[in-house]
Amino acid sequence: MRKMLVSRRVVVGGLLLTAAGGGVAPSWASPSLGEATEVRGDVRRKQAEKDDPLTVGSQLYENDRVHTSAESYATLHLGTDTRVLLGAETELLVDSFIAGQGGTLELGTGRMVFDRPEGLPKVDVAVRTAFGMIGVRGTKFFCGPSRAAFAVFVEHGSVSVARGGVTRIVAAGQGVEFHRRGEAPSEPVNWGEPRIKEAYASVGLTR
């Protein structure tokens, strides 16, 4: 179902999806949070002054920043059952993640899909973006540029999207948009299949 490409580092701002996490000096002695399971193209992992290529099997640690170049994609496996798919020219900071509990991720640029199978115990994950905050508890969603906006689309489960003093609850099949930083998220609307396919294709995922 997945035809993979690869990853890159994340900025800050205002969009937090409850689903993942954050960044400091290397802590290779600390327990691994997960690993890269698919990489295509030029993908790098940075922590403090250390900057090296990310390859299949590379372990991920707290405060790792993953960056995908043009035409590069990556799949990160966090804990035992959570995948994060990164599209081209994307930056993601893995702030923290504890299997079975959740954590925090920060998406600086680009796009990602957070994927956790249905039926599993819920975990609390937060995703920060330059547009707002996304709060998730065990779900599958896309966030990143989509057509003329920064968007969040939920395939299953639900997320809360907050910015500008407004919080929207986005249910399965729905999406919200931001057309500029600082504005509140739009009202949730149902997405059609063509737009969903476009969004997933941008992270190397097919439906």
Q: Which positions ≥6 away from 203 have C-beta within 8 Å?
A: 5, 73, 85, 86, 87, 111, 112, 113, 142, 144
> What pLDDT does residue 29 have?
53
- pLDDT, tens only, 67-77: 999 999 999 99
Q: Which domains does the chain have, with CATH numbers?
A: 34-201 (2.60.120.1440)
Tens of pLDDT, residue by residue over 119-154, are 888 888 999 999 999 998 878 999 999 999 999 999
Q: What is the pLDDT of residue 21?
A: 34
Query: What Rg value do the Cα atoms of the chain yield, rounded?
Result: 15
CA dist 37 and 157 (Å) reads: 24
From residue 168, alpha-carbon distances to 43, 172, 176 in Å are 33, 13, 8
Pure H helices in the chain: 193-201
pLDDT at position 31: 85
Neighbouring residues of 116: CB distance < 8 A, sequence distance ≥ 6? 81, 82, 83, 123, 138, 139, 140, 157
Question: What residues of the chain score a pLDDT lower than 70?
Answer: 1-30
Closest CA to 58 of 68, 80, 43: 43
Q: Which residue has the tokens 């059952």?
A: 81
